[in-house]
Structure 1
Amino acid sequence: MANTASPADPTRRDFLYLTTGAMGVVGTAAALWPFIDQMNPDASTRALASIEVDIGAIEPGQSITVQWRGKPVFIRNRTPEEIEAAKSVPLAELRDPLARNDNAAADADASDANRATDGMENILVMVGVCTHLGCIPLGQQGEYGGWFCPCHGSHYDTAGRIRKGPAPENMHVPVYTFVNDTRLRIG
């Protein structure tokens, strides 16, 4: 007896081809998933994506250093004199004209207002890494009363802006928000 099925009619063989192909795709995806999933950051990294810091105990003129994403973050409660010193610097004197503030536009200038938060100008938050070779600067030192990197001689002012030395950029300001007057969330 001859096969009476027309080429447009599905046969059992067509069904077997489709199901075998579908199972092959599902099997390949199941085999590849562990390799793809292992590229995601681990739980400890995701847990450090943001931290909250109590800043209520930081007196004017004092700084604290916290760890965020494996890097030191400087939080300084600046005195009115330090704020005025930072505001009085003409932008033309700055070596890096950009604010380097993740809370502001990428092309924001390096004025003190663009390095701090409006209404909380006394609190300065910066990633505490020298932009030259990644050293950790010393606070309240250097020619401008801000930070000094003794490894290669970079001097930062009271707003964390590079003023002298080999560092090419201002210290970076991470994303942060004020939860309330005494708590700060970084990240």
Structure 2
Amino acid sequence: MAEIILDDPNRRDFLYIATGAVGAVLVGGAVWPLINQMEPDASTLAQATTEVDIGGIAEGQIVTIKWQGKPVFVRHRTAKEIADARAAPMSALKDPATDESRAQKPEWLIVVGICTHLGCVPLGHQGPFEGWFCPCHGSVYDTAGRIRQGPAPKNLVLPPYKYVSDTKVQIG
């Protein structure tokens, strides 16, 4: 007759481990939806970056695209616009920044198209510096997107961007 040992340590250890593993899986299954709902929505992720084909933008033209619900100005600058921006004395700028620090490639300027005063959208090729003019309160930006006149305290914001090819820019 086989003797039944109720106090078998190997069997008890196995039961503890198996019960703990099942409990961990159940807790993980209950917690996962809570953690997963904190991820950004697919439509938000889709707006995180925007790719722009700049190959068809003529010299001197400004194109407005939408990125994260904001207008972004892509300006193909002429040699005169680049020269004018680089000739501006730093002492004349309210928010000093060199043209070289604002444009990765001199012929292309990419800025968020929102006035830094009260959030209006400035008009391109306007004002005494042929940059942008905000008709709401009179802020004037030059061809490098730097504030030159008016109540705006800062230059137009530079979005994060990189050139993925000679004719494509990824914003965001």
Structure 2 length as normaliser, TM-score? 0.83
Q: How does 1:1-187 map to 2 (within 5 A)?
A: 12=12, 19-97=18-96, 110-117=97-104, 120-187=105-172
**Number of residue pairs aligned between Structure 1 and Structure 2:** 168
Alpha-carbon separation, structure 2, partners of 1:33 and 1:172:
38
Amino acid at match of 1:115: R
Alpha-carbon separation, structure 1, partners of 2:152 and 2:24:
52
Offset at 1:139? 0.9
Offset at 1:4? 10
Offset at 1:137? 1.2
Offset at 1:19? 4.6
Offset at 1:126? 0.8
Offset at 1:28? 2.5
Amino acid at match of 1:127: V
Amino acid at match of 2:73: F
Q: What do residues 129-181 of structure 1 show as CA deviations (whole Å, max 9, x unaligned)?
A: 11222221111112322111222222111100112222222111122222333
Structure 2 CA distance for partners of 1:170 and 1:16, relative to 1, 3 Å: same
Offset at 1:125? 0.7
Q: Alignment partner of 1:185: what SS?
A: strand
Structure 1 length as normaliser, TM-score? 0.77
Offset at 1:43? 1.8
Offset at 1:16? 5.1
Amino acid at match of 1:114: S
Structure 2 CA distance for partners of 1:10 and 1:164, relative to 1, 3 Å: farther
Alpha-carbon separation, structure 2, partners of 1:180 and 1:4:
73
Alpha-carbon separation, structure 2, partners of 1:131 and 1:172:
8
Identity %: 57
Q: Alignment partner of 1:181: what SS?
A: coil
Amino acid at match of 2:56: A
Q: Alignment partner of 2:164: what SS?
A: strand
Alpha-carbon separation, structure 1, partners of 2:16 and 2:106:
69
**Runs of at least 5 residues in structure 1 that lack an aligned partner in the other structure:** 98-109
Q: Alignment partner of 1:140: what SS?
A: strand
